[in-house]
Amino acid sequence: MSEKLVRLKEILGEVSDLTHAAAVLEWDQNVGMPAGGAEARGQQLSTLAKIAQEKSTSDELGRLLEDLQKEYPEGESEESAMIRVASRNYEKARRVPAEFVAERALVTTQAFEAWVVAKKKSDFSVFHPHLEKIVELVRRYITFFPPADHPYDVLLDDYERGLKTAEVKSIFQDLRLKQVELIRRIGSVGQVRDDFLHAKYNEQKLWKFGERIIGKFGYDWNRGRQDQAPHPFETSFSVNDVRITNRFEADHPMATLFGAMHEAGHAMYEQGINPSYERTPLEGGASLAVHESQSRLWENLVGRSMPFWEHFYPELKKTFPAQLDGITLKSFYKAINKVEPSLIRVNADEATYNLHVMLRLELEISMVEGAVAVRDLPQMWNEKMREYLGVIPPNDAKGVLQDVHWSGGSIGYFSTYALGNLISAQWAEAIRKDIRDLDDRISKGKFDDLLGWLRGKIHVHGKRYEPQALVQKVTGAKIDAGPFMSYLEDKFGGIYGL
C-alpha cells in the first residue's frame, strides 16, 4: 500500500470517527438526554460537524485524491472504489462552507427538541419557526451547487446518488395509478376483521417478543441493542455497534413487532458490511433506497407473510391467549395485512404506504420551490391526505407532525422509502430463484439462508457499487415497479378474493 493511500485512509478515518461520535450524541438525544440538554448538545454537534467538514475539505485531502486517482484508475478494485467515492464526497463537501454545516447542526438539534414538544402537544406552531429556519437552510444549501434540472435534484442526490426528480415523479405517477386502482378493487369487497389487533396488549411482552423475532432473523445482540425513542430508527457507530430504537403505541400495539423487524432490517445490513470498510467512505449502505429495501423486505415480505406466522403465531397466541382467543392463523394473517387508508405512514399497509410517501414528496418539492409556505403545511397536508387517501387527520400529531425527518433537515429523503419497496420485491424475485424452498424454511423459523444471501449479494459491498448498478448486478434490471405491483396483486388478490 502506497504512503499516499495510507495517509488518505488516516484522514478519512478521522472524518468517520467524528461522524460516528456525532451519531452517538444524536442517539443519546433521542434515547436518554434530558430536554434541558438541548442547547449544549446543539453546540457539541455543531463543533463536531464543523471539524469534520474542515477535515473533509482540506487541501491535503484534495491533493491526495488527485494523485491517487492516477495511481488507482477507475476499475473493480476496492481501492479504486474507495477513491471514487471519496473524491465524489470531497467535491460535494468543498462546495459547502464549514460555518454553514455548523449552523445546520445547531438549528436541527434545536428543531428536534421543538418537534418532540410540538408533537406531544399536537401544536404545529411550536415547530413552525424551527422548520422555517430549516427550509431556509435547505434553499441556501442548494445554491452551493451548479444549477440542476430541478432544485430538488441537489437534495435527492444526497440520499440517492444520480437519481433525478423527474425520474422519481415518473416512477411514482405510474405506480400511483396502479395502486389506487388496486385499492379501489379491494374497497369494493368485504373488509377483513382486525379489532383484536387493537385490544390491550402488554407492552413489555410485545417488546420481548419482537426481540426474539429479530434475534432469530440474525440481528447480532453482541453488536446491537434496542431502546425506546419518539420515532423508531437505526444508527450505526461501527460494524460492531449497530443500534435500533422502537416505540409502543397503545392504540396500535402490533406496530412494536413490525417496527422491530423494520429497524432490524436496516441494522443487519450495517452489521453485514465488509469490516475492512470501517473508517472509509465504503462503510454504510449503498443508498437509502437500498437500505430501505432491507427493512421493508424483513418487515413485509417476510414479517407479514403466511409462512412466517405459521412459525410464530402459536407462540404469539400462547403469549396473549385472551386477546387472540378464537382467532385462527388465517384470520390473524388477514388482519395484519388489512388494506385501509390510514393516518400514520409507519403503520400503513403495503397497498397504501407509497401514497403517504408521494404526499410528502410533493410537499417537499413545493417547499423547495417556494410554492408552499411553512405556515400552510398543516392545511396542505390535510388536503393531500383527503385527496390521496380519503382521510383527514384530526390533529397535527397525527398529521404534519408525525414524522421526525424534517426536524433533522432531511428534506429529499422520503422518496427512498417507496423506492425501497420496489427494490425489495426485485430482491425477492431473485432470492426465490436461488432459494427454491424459501417459504418452507421461513415456516420453520430458519432465516440463515435468506440472511446469508443478502449478506453475500448486497450487505458485504457497502458503498462499493452505485445503487442502480448494485440493483442491476443482483437482479438484472434497474429499479422497476413491476415486481412490486405483481407482489401486491398476488398477495392482496388472495386475501380479498379479487
Helix (H) or strand (E) holding 227: strand 226-228
Same domain (yes/no): 386, 468: yes
Is residue 95 located within the same domain as residue 203?
Answer: no
Asked if 405 contacts 427 with a C-beta cutoff of 8 angstroms, the reply is: no
Domain assignment present for 321: yes
Say whether pLDDT at 174 is over 90: no
* Residue 40 in this model has a pLDDT that exceeds 80: yes
Q: Which of 115, 147, 179 is the last residue of a domain?
A: 147
Domain coverage including residue 124: 3-147
- Shared domain check, 191 and 76: no
Residue for cell digits 432544485? 151
468 in any annotated domain: yes
Q: What is the mean pLDDT of the chain?
A: 95
> What's the gap between Cα 128 and its chain centre?
24
pTM value surpassing 0.75: yes
pLDDT at 346: 85
pLDDT at 1 over 80: no
Q: Do 133 and 175 fall within a single domain?
A: no
Q: What angle do CA 258, 261, 267 make, to 5 degrees?
A: 145
Asked if pLDDT for residue 130 goes beyond 90, the answer is yes
Cβ neighbourhood burial of 204 (10 Å; 0-12, 13-18, 19+): exposed
| Set 26, 113, 160, 263: catalytic member | 263
**Rounded CA separation 314/309 (Å):** 8
Does one domain contain both 83 and 194? no
Known active-site residue 132: no
Asked if residue 474 and residue 356 are part of one domain, the reply reads: yes
Per-residue pLDDT, 152 = 96
